[in-house]
Chains A and B, each alone.
Chain A
């Protein structure tokens, strides 16, 4: 991961402008097989590390989707008056318990997204992903508590909606846990055993 070179914005902009001007002025027309070979050798959409870039972009999107899943209940509790989740959360000792749980999960998730976006040299450290796993587990437990609180309110399947969210966040925790476990297995495999 450390050697993964992402194109900078400047390089991407230069490629874009070069491609646009070439297509406008007609200098990049592909007439022969040699033209095509030269284009494929230089094409920005076929980098050598395409598979690694793909994995990293997937990780970025997973992290952002998870953060949005954490923002959603906070948004409903604090900005939509009379939202169901605010009523359910009030039957917990206080709705600030639910706010605190989701907020702590959010704060524990942010460093992993930060390393994904800006510090690719730290991606081989397990602590950020462990933090993300614990955040997902905390969100999952919060959702299953909310589902159990929604059962006696008897409002048409609300508990199922919260149960689905508990399962979704549990799956996200599984993603990070599998990543960490695989890295541990790789480290043991490549280590020197005395």
Chain B
């Protein structure tokens, strides 16, 4: 065998046990994580996003022409916002449990769900950047799919001031 390959095989044999041990502990760490809580927290955020779409549809100030595009954008933004709030809440809980002199209340599970739903529903300045990025990304994808066709109408337009016919 060529000396380079011999050296590579030797290095692989030396590293194999280490690699196995590392991957096993990583897998155990992954498995020990509370995935169901994370999954249902994500569902709560997505539900907040869908609620955003529905509230937009029943709002008298907005006309929804493309429900699917609006729902997709809201779900993307709600997932990002829910993840941010989830991490903030977990960080707050970890910080609170590390305090020793004063004791602050931890954010329990029920309040955490409500906060994540509210985060998925909310827009405004703190999610405006995410909203714009998601809108642009979805528009780019649609433009690629559409080819040379003219651009589509926006999914939501403000309702005009009208006088309904009798």
Q: Give chain A's interface residues, CB within 8 Å of chain B.
A: 91-93, 126, 129-130, 133, 137, 140-141, 144-145, 147-149, 151-152, 159, 163, 166, 170, 173-174, 176-178, 180-181, 184-185, 187-188, 190-193
The answer to whether A93 and B110 touch (CB under 8 A), given A180-B58, A187-B162, is yes
Q: Is A181 touching B36 in the complex (CB atoms < 8 A)?
A: no
Q: Is B163 touching A178 in the complex (CB atoms < 8 A)?
A: no
Q: Collect the chain A residues with CB atoms within 8 Å of residue B50's CB.
A: 170, 174
Please tell me which stretch of B38-46, B87-95, B99-107 contacts chain A, meaning at least 4 of its Cβ atoms lie within 8 angstroms of it. Answer: B38-46
The answer to whether A170 and B57 touch (CB under 8 A), given A151-B37, A188-B162, is no
Compute how far the CA of A149 lies from the CA of B113 in the bound complex, rounded to whole angstroms: 9
B121 to chain A, nearest CB (A): 9
Q: Is B163 touching A191 in the complex (CB atoms < 8 A)?
A: yes
Q: Is A181 touching B63 in the complex (CB atoms < 8 A)?
A: yes
Q: Is A92 touching B58 in the complex (CB atoms < 8 A)?
A: no
Q: Collect the chain B residues with CB atoms within 8 Å of residue A148's CB.
A: 37, 40-41, 44, 109-110, 112-113
Q: Collect the chain A residues with CB atoms within 8 Å of residue B41's CB.
A: 148
- Looking at A93, A130, A147, A151, the one whose CB has the most chain B CB atoms below 10 A away is A151
Q: Is A170 touching B47 in the complex (CB atoms < 8 A)?
A: yes
The answer to whether A191 and B43 touch (CB under 8 A), given A152-B37, A177-B58, is no
Q: Collect the chain A residues with CB atoms within 8 Å of residue B44's CB.
A: 144-145, 148
Which of B64, B67, B109 is in CB contact (< 8 Å) with A152?
Answer: B109
The answer to whether A141 and B163 touch (CB under 8 A), given A159-B40, A181-B63, is no
Compute how far the CA of A91 lies from the CA of B128 in the bound complex, rounded to whole angstroms: 35
Q: Which residue of A lies closest to B60 (CB)?
A: A184
Q: Collect the chain A residues with CB atoms within 8 Å of residue B37's CB.
A: 148, 151-152
Q: Is B51 touching A130 in the complex (CB atoms < 8 A)?
A: no
The answer to whether A145 and B58 touch (CB under 8 A), given A152-B37, A188-B159, A190-B164, is no
A172 to chain B, nearest CB (A): 10
User: Can you list 29 A-B contacts with CB-CB less than 8 angstroms, sorted by A residue number?
Assistant: A91-B110, A126-B58, A126-B60, A130-B58, A133-B54, A141-B51, A141-B114, A144-B44, A148-B41, A148-B109, A149-B109, A149-B110, A151-B34, A151-B109, A152-B37, A159-B36, A170-B51, A174-B50, A177-B54, A177-B57, A177-B58, A178-B57, A181-B58, A181-B63, A184-B159, A185-B63, A188-B162, A191-B162, A191-B163
